[in-house]
Amino acid sequence: MTNKLFEYFKKESLPYPLALYRIGFGILIMFSLARFALNGWIESLYIEPDFHFSYYGFSWVKPLGVYTYLIFLICFTSALFVTLGYKYRYSIVILFLSFTYIELMDKTTYLNHYYLLSCISFLMIFLPCARYFSVDKQENVKIPQWTIDSLKLLIVIVYIYAGLAKINSDWLISAQPLKIWLRAKYTIPFIGETLLQKDFSYYLFSWGGMIYDCVIPFLLLYKRTRYFAFFMVIAFHIMTRVLFPPIGMFPYIMIFSCIIFFDNGLHKKILDFIRTIFRLKITNNEKFNSNPKSYMRNKLVIPILSVFFVFQIIFPLRNNFYHGELLWTEQGYRFSWRVMLIEKAGYTTFKIVDNKNKNFQVVDNMDFLTPFQIKQMSFQPDMILEYAHFLGDTFKKRGFNDVSVFADSYVTLNGRPSKRFIDHKVDLYKQKNDLKHKTWIIPIKDDIKSLL
């Protein structure tokens, strides 16, 4: 067995796939950042708000006022260098660090596809993407097959977990939340008032989405179904873009990433195409020497990536260590590829009590948070707790003695009537902000069955 493994790691391939991936990835990041900046989101999401929600262990990652633009600029520049293959090793590390820093600044803006971009850029640090078609002068050397396969593995993991997450009773038996979402899309041409208003189509889309996610990785991996699979990838993701514009760049990232499943020949053709339309004078004798030792030289790479992939497989399952219904409590919900899985909204206000003189005050959230932050905070317990601590601290500074903070919170999940979410008799200010199970979330009475 280990012999076979050893043989596999020695297998080699041509550098075309990683070169193309590097170029496309860099362009996608540059495009995302430009779109983000042009929408004014750097200002409205990272500079305007007075308060930012932080990730556990990363509260030191904060926006830097007007210098936040600098972080975006650094990220954009590193993406440009990655595209060009200029000082690739340094630029991909800076890209990973700056992009992840941006992500970590405020939990409010968590998106699965930002997490995906961080994961991919991390992985790419260890992959020889600049061996071909890059500014960095490189010798023509073959690359290990496993470096290409590692990108495929990451995409496979994302799809499979996204698919398995859809195996739950709300999604498959009640066709929620698609029933609510699709019905509201009545202005989409052709299908808006017809297909999207029919009951059977909600089940079609729900089951179809689940089956697509679970099956597509295998269709992509198997050569005979690859072209068909890619066609499905384009159709599926374009459809999500048409139906759900807020999904942003996710569809394009996935469509592009699926090219990696194709063989060297196709990649070479695409690179040649790029070469001709940009009239690039890069010449290469296309003769690649074998070098089986190249990636063995650095003994750390394979162990690091093994840990990385073990993490990718185990981390999405951590919700099983917590009590309660995941879709309700969201303990372990992020970073598990649960993409567009639930419709959830909340209404959460806070009462600050001065225990010494029995004064109390209900906070107008608009005094401290932006409407977007209020929306996100209202149904996510970790954000509710962090905000409660912030409020307690703020009122302490204002002269309140022996402060207690209570949350009056109602949440609706997938169309259910809103129910009280947080125990309003629990002083959240005294609750520790840690990774332990949050006992003060009122359990949901409905029984939702899920696979994961």
Residues that bind another protein (CB under 8 A): 39, 41, 44-45, 109, 111-113, 173-174, 176, 179-181, 183-189, 192-193, 197, 199, 227, 230-231, 234-235, 238-239, 241-242, 245-250, 269, 339-340, 343, 345-347, 361-364, 370-372, 375, 378, 410-412, 414-418, 446
Residues in the chain: 452
Cα–Cα distances (Å) from 325 to 165, 343, 441, in that order, read 13, 15, 11
Contact 428, 440 (CB under 8 A): yes
Buried b (16+ CB within 10 A) or exposed e, 197-208: eeeebbbebbee
Q: Which is nearer to another protein, 181 or 440 (CB)?
A: 181
Q: Which is nearer to another protein, 265 or 292 (CB)?
A: 265
DSSP classification of residue 202:
H
In 3-state terms, the chain is what percent helix, strand and coil (to 5)? 55, 10, 35
SS3 359: strand
Smallest gap from Cβ 134 to another protein, in A, equals 23
Smallest gap from Cβ 359 to another protein, in A, equals 8
DSSP 119-174: HHHHHHHTS-TTSSSSSS----B-EEHHHHHHHHHHHHHHHHHHHHHT-BHHHHTS
Q: Which is nearer to another protein, 208 or 248 (CB)?
A: 248
Q: Which is nearer to another protein, 390 or 421 (CB)?
A: 421
Q: Which is nearer to another protein, 118 or 147 (CB)?
A: 118
Amino acid identity for residue 434 in this structure = D
Q: Which is nearer to another protein, 42 or 143 (CB)?
A: 42
Smallest gap from Cβ 23 to another protein, in A, equals 17
What kind and span of H or E run contains 403?
strand 403-413
Q: Which is nearer to another protein, 136 or 343 (CB)?
A: 343
Smallest gap from Cβ 259 to another protein, in A, equals 11
Smallest gap from Cβ 292 to another protein, in A, equals 33
Smallest gap from Cβ 93 to another protein, in A, equals 26
Smallest gap from Cβ 5 to another protein, in A, equals 36
Verify cis geometry, omega within 30 degrees of 0, for the bond prior to 49. Answer: no
What kind and span of H or E run contains 96?
helix 88-104
